[in-house]
Amino acid sequence: MPNTKQAGKEGYASYANLPEQKKVRIQRVERENGKQEDALLKIHGNVLYNVDYRSYIDTPYAEHDVYYHTIQTYLDVTYKKNYPIRIYLTNRFSNSSFTRRFTDVNMQFNTNDFRNRLRQRIKEYRPVDMLADSLQFWQRSISLKKMEFSQMNSSVNSSAAIQKVIEQKERMAYPEVQEKKNEFPELPDPGFKKPNAPAFKKVPDYLGDWFGKHGQEQVEKPKQPAVDTGFIQSLEAKKRKMDSLQQEIMAMEKKYKDCRNRWEALQSRKNAKLDQAGSIEELDAEIKARNIPDTALPAGYKTLWAVKSFGIGRTMVDYSELSAKNVSIKGGQVEYNPGYYIAVAAGTVDYRFRDYVVENKATRGQYLALVRVGKGLKNGNNIILTWYTGKKQLYNSSSANASQPDYRLMGFTLEGNYRITPSTYLTAEVAKSSLPFYNRPEAAKSLLKTAVNFNEHSNEAYSIKVQSVIKAYGTRLSGFYKHYGASFQSFSLITTGVEQDAWMVKVDQPLMRNKLMLGASVKKNDYTNPTTDLTYQSNMVFKSVQATLRIPKWPVLFVGYYPSSQLTKLSDNEYIENMFYSLVASANHYYKAATINMSTTAMYTRFYNKMSDSAFIYSNSSTFLFNQALFFKQLIYQATATVSLSADYNLYTLHNNVQYNLLKWLTAEGGVKFNKQTNYNIGQTGVNAGAIIKVNKLGEFQFSYEKGFIPGLNRQLVSNNTGRFSYFKIF
């Protein structure tokens, strides 16, 4: 046994290695020998190249033989095991004359990953405390007692000891047998006798003893070994000692278990507090409670803990309802929230409505700049003041050389978030912006003057939102109300020049022990234009009712009804109503028949709207879909049948598809689709094929081709060929 400073006295049987100290010794040797060193940078991610082909497209413009190329990489970079950074690189180009070509780079600090790593490091740190010392004491004591018991057990139950016990018991049980067993055979005793000679006198009796002793050899008989009662007693004493040790070990293990349970309960409570820690103060309190020195944690952890988000390049600005919500910019943004709150974002906005996909050379430069300051935690109680400015093009321009109106805007918002109860959260926000160029007085060219003119109310907006959970019933409630003045401008709203009101109420209720989930919502938007001579008002109402039933070993059932309508008032006597009603029902079941895994899906969709409502080609139509999939060890078979019933014609579709794993690195796929269109008596057959090739250490290659059909002129289906090639590598 190696002589290391462990527990017990060196050279004695109780000398033992302790596992935790052994680990420290191994780590030290590895560092000295240089066998294990942490890399400065660790990089994981993937690389993707994808090309799509369309022989014909009709959205948003009609083109032929179009290719879309996408090159993308996603990298997770970790610096010194503690600082995670995420990087995206995307390049998209096409031979289409309408589609945009763009290259995007995004780098962001992964705040969630950093916090999780820091929490894990804090949890794994083992400070010196009374409970930890007690655990180590009981571990050492139990280890030594078990070692003593093991050594004594080896001594008592050794083969030599067992043989000796058997012999001693035999001697004690049959002593006369053992005595005869150890005697020599009896032989005649010649004595010291000589024949009487006539010339000699008889030896006197008083000399007979002397002649008898010296004249005859005496043979000593072996002595019978006595029973070794000392060995038996020692053995019995060892057995009693072993029984005593077992009792001591059981008592120690009980105390160790109690101590461990107390320690684990304490750690669980500490970990729960650590997981809920949001502010620097709460984090510091947990670190001090665990007696963790700053040197054991990553450098700058307090500063990085307070970073809520940080991004450079193509990044998303998502702050508040009335300032900037889900705006994609090329620039940078950062949120810092140690106790006070500050956020800064700036960048160019290079799209309008569909311009993110469709190229618009006439679009002038748009940009956004924003600063937010406040007090409180972002996800807790806080109050935040926001100032934003920039340029936002409201309408398209037919010529790049045409003069552009002054699309600049500026505004302020004041937002407050308050947690009324642990399960109820309230958000309220008020805002005021500069006037749009068409309502801006000639004398008031300054954006700031129109934004702080409190006599003008058309450029104001306010919003209130509530989220709550009734824990006793599991009910989730949410709702909001928003009002936008006709002249209000922000990066969260498309300025239309009309006054808008919107509200929504949503309820989700689980029943039957969460097996049945019911959901209902009502949303209404009102639009009023006060600047026109004619009375114009429009309101839209979106309603939804849905239910999901999940029972183990039964199909998952879903039903959703979405009645929506738009009522437009053109004058006191003239109204227009558009309806968009839809019903969706589905059943999905994954099960096993014999040894085959199967999946069955049935779906029904019904649209109730008219052609005049939205010009939707399948208006006032019903669709039935049935899909059956069989999953074998190397083969997947799917059959899909679809029936679409509309006012003009019925469309029947049957599709069969097979995917087969030929080899570990090769998967092939193929299928046939048949379409039958009534009224036109057209039957069309399409095919699809594909393959997946996996090359070790190189990546995965995917190929697919489909000859399909899309709606064409006169509502007839026309042929459309599509293809795709992809390369994907994870590292």
Please indicate, yes or no, if residue 142 is contained in any of the structural domains.
yes
Centre a 10 Å sphere on the Cβ of residue 205 and count the other Cβ atoms it contains. 7
Mean pLDDT lowest among 20-34, 418-432, 478-492 = 20-34
Which carries the bigger pLDDT value, residue 475 or residue 220? Answer: 475
pLDDT at position 289:
80
* Residue 165 and residue 28 share a domain: no
Check: CB of residue 550 under 8 Å from CB of residue 556.
yes
pLDDT at position 34:
44
pLDDT at position 403:
67
Cα atoms in the 13 Å half-sphere on the side-chain side of 607: 18
* Residue 260 and residue 146 share a domain: yes
pLDDT band at 220 (very low <50, low <70, confident <90, very high): low
Nearest-angstrom CA–CA distance, 114 and 301: 9
Check: CB of residue 194 under 8 Å from CB of residue 188.
no
Please indicate, yes or no, if residue 472 is contained in any of the structural domains.
no
Q: Which two tokens stand for residue 379?
A: 């996800």
Please indicate, yes or no, if residue 531 is contained in any of the structural domains.
no
pLDDT at position 592:
93
pLDDT at position 687:
96
509-531 per-position pLDDT tens digit: 999 999 999 999 999 887 666 55
pLDDT at position 614:
59
Q: Which two tokens stand for residue 559?
A: 């039903």
* Residue 170 and residue 287 share a domain: yes
Please indicate, yes or no, if residue 350 is contained in any of the structural domains.
no
Range of the domain at 256: 126-180+225-291
Mean pLDDT, the chain, as a whole number? 81
pLDDT at position 7:
39
- What is the rounded average pLDDT of the residues 336-363? 75
Q: Which two tokens stand for residue 159?
A: 């083969």
Which carries the bigger pLDDT value, residue 275 or residue 549? Answer: 549
* Residue 159 and residue 14 share a domain: no
* Residue ranges of E strands in 594-681: 596-607, 622-631, 635-645, 650-663, 666-677
Q: Which two tokens stand for residue 708?
A: 């399909």
> Which residue among 291, 308, 334 closes a domain?
291
pLDDT at position 172:
67
- Judge whether residue 492 has pLDDT over 70: yes
pLDDT at position 146:
85
Which carries the bigger pLDDT value, residue 400 or residue 630? Answer: 630
- Judge whether residue 36 has pLDDT over 60: no
* Residue 131 and residue 33 share a domain: no
Mean pLDDT lowest among 36-45, 225-234, 252-261 = 225-234
Ramachandran quadrant class, 199 (left: phi over 0; alpha: psi -120 to 50; beta: rest) = alpha
Centre a 10 Å sphere on the Cβ of residue 47 and count the other Cβ atoms it contains. 16
- Judge whether residue 15 has pLDDT over 50: no
- What is the rounded average pLDDT of the residues 345-358? 68
- Judge whether residue 60 has pLDDT over 60: no
- What is the rounded average pLDDT of the residues 339-359? 75
- Judge whether residue 30 has pLDDT over 50: no
* Residue 132 and residue 21 share a domain: no
Which carries the bigger pLDDT value, residue 241 or residue 178? Answer: 241
- What is the rounded average pLDDT of the residues 290-315? 90
pLDDT at position 206:
60
Q: Which two tokens stand for residue 139?
A: 């571990």
Please indicate, yes or no, if residue 674 is contained in any of the structural domains.
no
* Residue 144 and residue 256 share a domain: yes
* Residue 169 and residue 278 share a domain: yes
- Judge whether residue 591 has pLDDT over 90: yes
pLDDT at position 27:
37
- Judge whether residue 210 has pLDDT over 90: no
Q: DSSP letter for 358, please.
A: B
Nearest-angstrom CA–CA distance, 627 and 655: 9
Q: DSSP letter for 99, please.
A: B
In terms of DSSP H, where are the helices of 386-429? none
Domain count along the chain:
2
Which carries the bigger pLDDT value, residue 199 or residue 728? Answer: 728
* Residue 275 and residue 151 share a domain: yes
- Judge whether residue 490 has pLDDT over 80: yes
* Residue 134 and residue 26 share a domain: no
Please indicate, yes or no, if residue 711 is contained in any of the structural domains.
no
- What is the rounded average pLDDT of the residues 74-90? 93
Which amino acid, 581? Y
- Judge whether residue 311 has pLDDT over 60: yes
Cα atoms in the 13 Å half-sphere on the side-chain side of 274: 21
Nearest-angstrom CA–CA distance, 128 and 291: 8
Helix (H, G, I), strand (E, B) or coil at 96: coil
Helix (H, G, I), strand (E, B) or coil at 598: strand
* Residue 149 and residue 16 share a domain: no
- What does the DSSP assignment read for 56-125? EE-SSS-EEEEEEEEEEEEEEEEETTTEEEEEEEEEEEES-SSB--EEEEEEEE-HHHHHHHHHHHHHH-
Nearest-angstrom CA–CA distance, 79 and 515: 45
- Judge whether residue 660 has pLDDT over 80: yes
**How far from chain centre, in Å, is Cα 328?**
25
* Long-range CB contact pairs, 505-514, < 8 A, 24+: 505/478, 505/479, 506/476, 506/477, 506/478, 506/479, 507/475, 507/476, 507/477, 508/475, 508/476, 509/473, 509/474, 509/475, 509/476, 510/474, 514/474, 514/550
Q: Within the chain, how many helices (H) and strands (E) appear?
A: 11, 26
CB under 8 Å to 156, separation ≥6 — which residues? 235, 238, 239, 242
Ramachandran quadrant class, 458 (left: phi over 0; alpha: psi -120 to 50; beta: rest) = alpha
- What is the rounded average pLDDT of the residues 61-83? 90
Please indicate, yes or no, if residue 449 is contained in any of the structural domains.
no
- What is the rounded average pLDDT of the residues 295-302? 90
Q: Pick from 698, 715, 599, 605: which is nearest to 650 by CA? A: 715
100-111 per-position pLDDT tens digit: 788 899 999 999
- Judge whether residue 323 has pLDDT over 60: yes
pLDDT at position 247:
86
- Judge whether residue 488 has pLDDT over 90: yes
Check: CB of residue 565 under 8 Å from CB of residue 577.
yes
* Residue 138 and residue 24 share a domain: no
Please indicate, yes or no, if residue 145 is contained in any of the structural domains.
yes
